[in-house]
């Protein structure tokens, strides 16, 4: 593949396991401290859908210069994320080639994505007929976390909070599936919780039923991401995220991102208790129909590279 202006020779292909370290480095260069790509994202993408993550490679140097994922998260739903080209290679036709590869791969199923901003969302709407969901937007609550024992929920009668162990994993997966429109996300959950620099907790009631869980993970460029945080109510959500944040070393509390829906005011209030402030407000788009999941239980979404939940 060649570019007529700069004579850049490149190919777009599916990612290989050996590419994962180079892709992490590329994301760090592209996104800087705005990154929300967790460190195990390429490996988890491969485990969920080995054919859904595409990379662009400069044939003259062997360097990875772009990426775009089109993960089939269910037979009827795909999600586009991680769409980026290295700054020095932008404007040379690489992005459109990756985009076409992804769209061809996903085919005629429902596709979701988070556009970078409203302007980009309008472009997706005009060129590819994606529709912006009108009733919800994703907000990024960002900043240094301040843990204040005087204002945070410490305990709830009848609730046990503990790490997600092997014997509790199936309950977490079933709970997650119930929140996410019946989608089985076992591979995602297992992939995230088993990767280094990840912290997790699950809430169990007196009947030994899962009533919420929280995962916090380390992203590239010294960013820490909260999510998913799913719970039956705001007290459980606050308890889980408070306890989870308390597990983190001090340096992981300096640059925290917490992605939630703007219609969940209770979730925003929890983030504000930790000193986080709204910095970004993004639309979500779908190619066929809006997918919500159980919005009252979604206090932060999962990785915005894979899922609209």
**DSSP letters along 237-248, please?**
HHHHHHHHHHTS
**Same fold for the pair 10-132 and 138-300:** yes
Q: Is the pLDDT of residue 35 over 70?
A: no
pLDDT in tens, 197-251: 899 999 999 999 999 999 999 887 788 999 999 999 999 999 999 999 999 999 9
Q: Which of 138, 191, 190 is nearest to 20 (CA)?
A: 191
Give residue 6's pLDDT.
59
222-255 as b/e: b if 16+ CB within 10 A: ebbbbbbbbbbebbbbbbbbbbbbeebeeebbeb
Q: How far apart are the first and last CA of the chain?
A: 36
Q: Which fold has domain 138-300?
A: Aminopeptidase (3.40.630)
Segment 58-65 shows an average pLDDT of 96
Segment 39-47 shows an average pLDDT of 87
CA distance 52 to 236: 35
Q: Is the pLDDT of residue 34 over 70?
A: no
* Stated length of the chain: 309
CA 92: distance to chain centroid? 28
Segment 43-67 shows an average pLDDT of 96
pLDDT in tens, 126-171: 999 999 999 999 999 999 999 987 778 889 999 999 999 999 999 9
Give residue 95's pLDDT.
95
Helix axes 234-246, 265-273, angle to 10 degrees: 30
Q: Please provide the CATH number assigned to the domain covering 10-132.
A: 3.40.630.30
- Banded model confidence at residue 4, pLDDT cuts 50, 70, 90: very low
- Banded model confidence at residue 258, pLDDT cuts 50, 70, 90: very high
Residues 51 and 105 sit within 8 Å (Cβ to Cβ): yes
Q: What is the pTM of this model?
A: 0.93
Give residue 304's pLDDT.
83
Give residue 292's pLDDT.
94
Q: Where are the alpha helices (H) located in 160-279, listed in sequence order?
A: 166-179, 186-193, 234-246, 265-273
Give residue 5's pLDDT.
44
In percent, the amount of the chain with pLDDT more than 90 equals 81
User: Tokens at residue 247, please?
Assistant: 């597990």
Kindly list the domain boundaries of the chain, sorted by start residue: 10-132, 138-300
Q: Considering only 36-40, 74-78, 103-107, 224-228, which range has the smallest mean pLDDT?
A: 36-40
What's the chain's average pLDDT?
92
């Amino acid at each position: 593949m060649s570019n007529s202006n700069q004579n850049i020779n490149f190919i777009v292909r599916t990612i290989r396991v050996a590419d994962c370290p180079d892709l992490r480095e590329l994301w760090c260069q592209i996104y800087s401290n705005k990154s929300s790509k967790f460190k195990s994202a390429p490996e988890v993408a491969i485990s969920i859908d080995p054919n859904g993550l595409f990379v662009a490679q400069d044939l003259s140097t062997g360097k990875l210069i772009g990426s775009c994922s089109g993960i089939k998260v269910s037979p009827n739903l795909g999600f586009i994320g991680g769409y980026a080209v290295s700054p020095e290679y932008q404007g040379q036709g690489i992005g459109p080639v990756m985009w076409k590869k992804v769209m061809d791969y996903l085919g005629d199923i429902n596709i979701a994505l988070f556009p970078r901003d409203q302007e980009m969302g309008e472009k997706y709407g005009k060129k590819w007929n994606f529709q912006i969901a009108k009733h919800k937007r994703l907000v990024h609550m960002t900043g240094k976390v301040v843990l204040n024992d005087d204002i945070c929920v410490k305990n709830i009668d009848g609730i046990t909070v503990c790490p997600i162990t092997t014997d509790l994993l199936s309950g977490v997966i079933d709970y997650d599936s119930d929140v996410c429109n019946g989608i089985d996300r076992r591979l995602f959950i297992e992939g995230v919780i088993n990767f280094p620099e990840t912290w997790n907790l699950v809430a169990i009631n007196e009947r030994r039923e899962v009533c919420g869980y929280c995962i916090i993970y380390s992203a590239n460029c010294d960013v820490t991401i909260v999510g998913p945080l799913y719970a039956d109510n705001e007290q459980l959500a606050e308890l889980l995220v408070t306890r989870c944040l308390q597990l983190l070393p001090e340096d992981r509390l300096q640059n925290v991102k917490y992605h939630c829906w703007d219609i969940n005011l209770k979730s925003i209030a929890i983030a504000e208790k930790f000193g986080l402030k709204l910095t970004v407000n993004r639309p979500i788009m779908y190619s066929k129909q809006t997918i919500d999941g159980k919005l009252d239980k979604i206090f932060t979404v999962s990785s915005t590279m894979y899922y609209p939940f």
